[in-house]
Amino acid sequence: MADKTADGGAWTGCAVMFLQSLFPGVDLLALYKGEQGKFIIFKVLKLTLRDSAGGLGGYDILKVHDAEPFLGVEVKFVDVAACQQFLESYSSGAVLQSLNQHACRLLGLPQDFTVRTQLKAGPQNLDLCLDQLAVCLQHIHLSQPERLRDEEIDHLEQQLQSQALGPAPQTLTVTQEESPVPSNCFKFQNRVFEDRVLTPADVQSFSNGVGRQWKHVGRALGKSCRALKGPAIDNLAYEYEREGLYEQAYQLLSRFIQAEGRAAKLSRLVRALEDSKLTSLAENMLGMQP
């Protein structure tokens, strides 16, 4: 299979690998939501891809996201040879073996730690056709990436580059006795709250309380939401200027929910409110006593 498509363009494609720990007491999704765990799990993923795709080139991690109970890893391939080698490694079990080895070493886990995997390209479950390499490659090629690389991934890549030039950080040790924040929860002011999709009541409460600060919250949300990047915030302000601050804030959060779907979680809004120094509004939305 050539490195170029029939129309002469470069070959690209996208696949998502879903990971779930089968080891009691270890939740990859919960670990990734913590700052130290996030970096180490990202390093595990990078090392696994390096081992299975034949080096550091030919692919790019676009996003690592919550696909409860899985940790979803979206990978863009820009080299058909790297994609083919990855598929062969995945089919043979080499990807799983590499993933387990790096996780045990970097997370300080027992050797019997193991992970359950799924591989998809768009709606296609590639685990069902791994014996047909050409078919898998075609599915991946047809599943073109819908987003640019996430800003969080850019930050993790920079961390990884800095680590390569400086002293290595301490290994994160995970034990069965630890109780990380569950994957369906988040922590705010040292309290754990159940995470959920934003509701119309949340939108109303936010719109009533945010006032002139809605733009700051919008830009904070825009760090992880493409629909709110660039001139989107200023366009909303201009379009709904006559309707007032409530309507501007209402339209902001409505656009966020429309763009992100089930990923428009309460935790993301609370984090954006914290970044905007609006902790009192976050407390109010969470029903915390003053």
> In degrees, to the nearest 5, what angle opens at C-alpha 260 toward C-alphas 258 and 266?
100
Name the band, by pLDDT with cuts 50, 70 and 90, for residue 74: very high
- The lowest-confidence range among 81-90, 155-164, 218-227, 256-265 is 155-164
What was the pLDDT predicted at 142? 93
What is the average pLDDT score of the chain?
Answer: 84
Mean pLDDT within 111-117: 86
What was the pLDDT predicted at 53? 82
Distance between CA atoms of 231 and 3, rounded to whole angstroms?
Answer: 36
For residue 270, is pLDDT > 90?
Answer: yes
Percent of the chain having pLDDT more than 70? 89
What was the pLDDT predicted at 9? 58
Give the CA dihedral 237, 261, 180, 39, nearest 10 degrees: -70
Contact yes or no for 202/270 (Cβ under 8 A): no
What was the pLDDT predicted at 119? 95
Percent of the chain having pLDDT more than 90? 32
Contact yes or no for 17/75 (Cβ under 8 A): yes
What was the pLDDT predicted at 174? 52
Q: From residue 212, how far is each of 86, 191, 209, 215, 218 by CA, in Å?
A: 50, 28, 9, 7, 11
Mean pLDDT within 32-55: 85
Distance between CA atoms of 229 and 243, rounded to whole angstroms?
Answer: 22
- The lowest-confidence range among 91-95, 171-175, 191-195 is 171-175
What was the pLDDT predicted at 104? 86
Structure tokens at 114: 């193991």
What are the boundaries of each domain within the chain? 13-165, 185-286
For residue 154, is pLDDT > 60?
Answer: yes
Contact yes or no for 269/221 (Cβ under 8 A): yes
Q: What superfamily in CATH does domain 13-165 come from?
A: TRADD, N-terminal domain (3.30.70.680)
Mean pLDDT within 47-63: 84
Instruction: Check residues 171 and 80 and name the one with the higher pLDDT.
Output: 80
Helix (H) or strand (E) holding 31: helix 28-32
Strand order of the β-sheet with 115-121 is: 59-67, 70-77, 13-21, 115-121, 124-125
What was the pLDDT predicted at 16? 95
What was the pLDDT predicted at 289? 55
For residue 98, is pLDDT > 90?
Answer: no
What was the pLDDT predicted at 3? 53
Spatial CB neighbours of 188, under 8 Å, sequence gap ≥ 6: 270, 274, 282, 286
**Domain 185-286 part of CATH 1.10.533.10:** yes
